Structure 1
Amino acid sequence: RYALFSNHLKNIEENEGGIDEFSKSYKAFGVNQLLDGRIYCKEWAPGAEAVFLTGDFNGWNPFSHPYKKMEYGKWELFIPPGEDGSPPVAHGSKLKVVIRAQSGELLYRISPWARYVVRDEDKVNYDWVHWNPPQSYLHKHPSPKRLKSLRIYESHVGIASPEGKVASYKNFTYNVLPRIKDLGYNCVQLMAIMEHAYYASFGYQVTSFFAASSRYGTPDDLKEMIDVAHSMGITVLLDVVHSHASKNSEDGLNKFDGTDYCFFHSGHKGTHQLWDSRLFDYANWEVLRFLLSNLRMWIEDYRFDGFRFDGVTSMLYHHHGIGTGFSGDYNEYFGLHVDEDALCYLMLANYMIKFLYPECITIAE
């Protein structure tokens, strides 16, 4: 196991410039504003025949902005600024990646790296909205020093209100955090932050991994909430779901490029029978890039102080813990039923977090 981890780490060093650079891929993939005014777009779609960007910015012309094919299933696109130097894609405008699948079908997809997705009341699916405000929220308070003893308050922003509606980040900031502080808790663990189309899943059927749920407000509202928690000396943990993903394709990762093996195992191995969701292929280089970058983004952009990894048993074993008990016998924990690729990913995740952010906390469910 350690040899597999060491080999992965060595390969990352040799091919990506180290885990620091590798885990910053969220700054390149998706749609990102460059300092010179251009927008750089990058996607991994190994099963695609062609890739385009469409949206409000080009009148929803599906073919006017084609991506250039690169090595290893990657695609890139540069969009120059407007004649007046303005961003070519306006903040708040809607986008879609257009994939020409191997079958010839055109698929309209949300980028796996999308930072903000919203759903209109009259629609079923989410829309990808370009998030690039002129001035993002600036954190004012440092993270608390790592605590010797945690008193964790597990919470869900949407149900943290006596009112019969989905509550907001603002409500949690100004009405709930003071109560948590007064009760003597020094840590809050947030559920259902990563965007999920199915609200009743309590956030465990993630559709957009890099997007903070828009049900409760904007990304800046969440940043403010975490900043205020830090001002109270409260450590903030994210309940991160890297054990599986929603099987939605219109507004999720599933069949992003028209195949069933982009991000996930193909066929039976790629489906969780109880959760009715897709299972990541942790042996895939680009899946490792995606998941490690996801952790990095939540720490860097939102200032989360650590993670509670959901569904670790499902990750560690090929049987996913289904119909299996653990009594303490070594044979239940070690053997061919262990998914060593998933285990290696968790080792890489822990290594990256502790190497770059020694104060961060990691908890396994």
Structure 2
Amino acid sequence: MTKNDIDHSHPEIIDGMLRRRLSADPLLTPYRDVIRRRIVRTDEMELRLTSGKITLADFASGHEYFGMHFKDGRWVFREWAPNAREIYLKGSFSDWKVMDRFALTRISDTGVWEITLDAGDLAHGDLYRLEMRWPGGRGDRIPAWIRRVVQNPDNGSFNAQIWRPDAPHQWRHPRPRKQRGPLLVYETHIGMAQDAEKIGSYAEFRRNVLPRIRRAGYNTLQIMAVAEHPYYASFGYQVSNFFACSSRFGTPEDLKALVDEAHGMGFLVLMDLVHSHAVKNEVEGLSRFDGTPFQYFHEGDRGDHPAWDSRCFDYDNVHILHFLLSNCRFWMDEYRFDGFRFDGVTSMIYTHHGLGKAFTVYDDYFDESVDEAALTYLTLANRVVHTLSDTAVTIAEDVSGMPGLAAPLEDGGVGFDYRFAMGIPDYWIRLTKDTPDEFWSMGHLWHELTNRRADEQTISYAESHDQALVGDQTLIFRLMGSRIYSHMSVLTEDIVVARGIALHKLIRLATLATAGHGYLNFMGNEFGHPEWIDFPREGNQWSYRYARRQWHLMDDPLLRYHHLATFDRDLTAFSTEYQIPFGQEIFLLHLDEGSRVLAFLRAGKVFAFNFHPTRSHTDYWIPAAPGAYRVALDTDREGYGGLARQDPGMIHYTLTDRIHRHFLSLYLPSRTALVLAPTTDDRETG
């Protein structure tokens, strides 16, 4: 029994959980009863699911019962459809006709249907659907629990496919250990991860992109758009088939080979898991699966997401919890994912989905708008995931700041390992969009970068895929504009490009250095990819021109993209060597609005930023512990596209003032940052 299997129902156990929660954040004290209710609610739901006879992880194994399975020489297929009156398998094996021999039999009052077929009735590669008949209607449906779905290239329709290859993937590498240190996350999308104007494949990603990410120094992959989705341009966020990896990128064996290879390189591999909503499509989705709009979703208006034009799960329904919890386990069992980034958590946990809501007081987290059923589901999901693997990682994408999301399960929290610091990229965008950098406030900057819950682990980022989408702009494009297309050669000089490159480095270093426990980057942003993401659609004549990553730009030493890529590689190396960020305390050393200087101490390292656009500071005194310091990182290096105004080999010694305070006297060139690490004083050891 693991700590996640502990019986939480005893009052003294709940009291202990509450004490730890309130000790970590005393501002929660007025909401003690609500927090207690939520803990009890989760335990009651777990008991309801397991009846106290099995573990929650065992309950979350519906994928081994439902769907298509080959067992003991026969095919067995099961589906849950309580409103159905008749269900038939039909496909290439029946010439797409309804036949009595392929009729399912209802085997339970809850609406479970089953059919058993001989081995020769179905073969690997066969295509099929269900014909679902209900009172007053009928329709074709892709099975809800199916593991393989393919698209017809002629008409765009989807079908389920029998998947039982002669040579299934043989796993070669064990899961890596959980990272002891900062999580350096590389957010990536398989289809657009290649130079060519096409959809990339799992195999191409494994061969061509994985080695790049390893050389770049990241230790964690976060893969988007894994589950099947009908509309490519949805970025994978309109899921239709929750147990099928997207066939537009290749086969299940190809995805397994990718994850296996990534594990061999030492990567943790996380899946972008979308349990916040589902696509409205009916044939290939879950909407009106058995003829009712509410089988998997809330009834009435609450079942529709007004902003995303999608369906909202009913997290209080036992059958839906079975489906979603089993989905978590499936991806870990079948594809050996090491965990998940849960998408759209804010949308899940509030009935208003966070739309138009500014979360300003704690009351916002405990009022009637909170969907406590969704919080219960997320807590149960974390119990399942962390029971299955003690190296698992879960991340919550929440913009509201809901307390307790990343608090430990044993402390009455929801149990995520990390939460995203989503206000930071929004701040950088607002700053670069609305305020010339000569007017940037160091005080506001410091507040935004360090304003986070001290009792929960966070991952910061300067920008993600959200800022790279068409209709928005990446940081590099906001800083340079159209000059990025014409002035990135190292053989030319341009004041706008020089500014953009300098600030791009400062923004990334400041974000990583002040982050809580991890740092994220979206692929290509590290080297200032010049174009936004725009998937093929009618408005761009179905072009793939902007749905790709132009790796050749960073490979060319005559282009300044190469400088940014080199800086990012050294930034991750710095993070790995000094284990920053990894929860160390951070202390403000100096803040000067007029000089645009910001300096702070973390893990014994002195970080000194000069954001001033024109003024370089000489003999600038920064408080520091007494001793000698060497240069650990300098954004002004020539290899990073800088002017090399620092002596990289210089040892800096602290000085004292008249009242015996210690300072470093530094040269801080304009728009640069310097990181100094304590070193041995050669004058004493020599």
The TM-score, its normalising length taken from structure 2, stands at: 0.51
- Give runs of aligned pairs for residues 184-333 of structure 1, distance below 5 A: 184-327=217-360, 329-333=361-365
Q: Whose helix proportion is higher, 1 or 2?
A: 2
1:32 aligns to 2:69 (yes or no)? yes
CA displacement at 1:167 relative to structure 2? 0.7
CA displacement at 1:364 relative to structure 2? 0.3
CA displacement at 1:38 relative to structure 2? 1.2
* 1:122-177 alpha-carbon deviations (Å, 9 max, x no partner): 11321111111123111100111000221000000111011111111111101100
1:78 aligns to 2:116 (yes or no)? yes
2:173 partner letter: H
Counterpart secondary structure, 2:191: helix
* 1:243-288 alpha-carbon deviations (Å, 9 max, x no partner): 0000001211111111101111122010000000000011111100
1:85 aligned partner: none
1:128 aligns to 2:160 (yes or no)? yes
CA displacement at 1:15 relative to structure 2? 7.3
CA contact (8 A) 2:77 2:116 kept: yes
CA contact (8 A) 1:51 1:99 kept: yes
After TM superposition, the structure 1 stretch with the greater mean CA deviation from structure 2, 205-214 or 46-55, is 46-55
1:19 aligned partner: 56
2-structure distance, mates of 1:340, 1:115? 30
After TM superposition, the structure 1 stretch with the greater mean CA deviation from structure 2, 16-25 or 217-226, is 16-25
CA displacement at 1:118 relative to structure 2? 1.2
* 1:84-132 alpha-carbon deviations (Å, 9 max, x no partner): xxxx3111101111111111x2211100111111112211321111111
2-structure distance, mates of 1:133, 1:125? 23
1-structure distance, mates of 2:122, 2:326? 24
* Alignment coverage as a number of residue pairs: 357
1:345 aligns to 2:377 (yes or no)? yes
Counterpart secondary structure, 1:158: coil
Query: Aligned pair in 2 of structure 1 residues 125, 59: CA closer, same or farther (>3 Å)?
Result: closer
1-structure distance, mates of 2:396, 2:316? 20
CA displacement at 1:81 relative to structure 2? 3.0
2:91 aligned partner: 55
The TM-score, its normalising length taken from structure 1, stands at: 0.95
* 1:38-65 alpha-carbon deviations (Å, 9 max, x no partner): 1111111111111121222233331422
2:43 aligned partner: 6
- Give runs of aligned pairs for residues 159-174 of structure 1, distance below 5 A: 159-174=192-207
2:77 to 41, 50, 68: 41
2-structure distance, mates of 1:300, 1:227? 13
1:99 aligned partner: 132
CA contact (8 A) 1:209 1:294 kept: yes
* 1:156-210 alpha-carbon deviations (Å, 9 max, x no partner): 0111011111111111101100010001000010001111001111000001111
1-structure distance, mates of 2:84, 2:285? 17
1:360 aligns to 2:398 (yes or no)? no
CA contact (8 A) 1:16 1:22 kept: no
CA contact (8 A) 1:193 1:213 kept: yes
Q: Could you tell me which runs of 5 or more consecutive residues in structure 1 were left unpaired when the two chains were aligned.
A: 83-87
2:109 partner letter: E
1-structure distance, mates of 2:95, 2:57? 38
2:114 partner letter: E
Q: What is the percentage of aligned positions where both structures have the same residue?
A: 45
Query: Aligned pair in 2 of structure 1 residues 48, 94: CA closer, same or farther (>3 Å)?
Result: same
2:578 aligned partner: none
CA displacement at 1:16 relative to structure 2? 6.9
* 1:9-45 alpha-carbon deviations (Å, 9 max, x no partner): 11222277332322111011011111x2111111111
CA contact (8 A) 1:194 1:211 kept: yes
